Amino acid sequence: MDVEKARALARFRDISLEATAFRLRAVRMALGVTQKDMAEALELPTSTYADYERARVYPSHAAVSHFRWRHDITFDFILYGDPRHLPLEAAERIYNAMLELDAQPDRPARG
């Protein structure tokens, strides 16, 4: 995986709701769980977790902490798109999920 390509795809340093939601969705997909399963793990209503991925609200500190401590997904990646400190295996899975998401026809163009 090319780090510069991964950064571009992850919208490195883009802290917008849309970029954060994109990364969060890619992480969940890389973990192989549904929104419902993730919401249950976070002890949230499914609609609240779905709002994170729909770019309606930023994920809570508790949600981001869950990814950090349970799955070793760094705050830097979720919030800033910086893949440098992700474990290699997780980085590869997330990168592949981002490629899949980016290829979807209903995906808004990156600006």
List the Cα angle 56/85/58 in 5-degree steps: 10
Q: Tell me the pTM.
A: 0.88
- Which pLDDT value is given to residue 9? 83
What mean pLDDT value characterizes the chain?
90
For the segment 31-42, the average pLDDT, to the nearest whole number, is 96
- Which CATH number applies to 3-102: 1.20.120, 1.10.260, 1.10.20, 1.10.3720? 1.10.260
Please report which confidence band the pLDDT of residue 38 belongs to, taking 50, 70 and 90 as the band edges. Answer: very high
Q: What is the pLDDT of residues 45-92, one digit of tens each?
A: 999 999 999 999 999 999 999 999 999 999 999 999 998 899 999 999
Rounded Cα–Cα distance for residues 31 and 44 (Å):
18
Domain ranges of the chain: 3-102
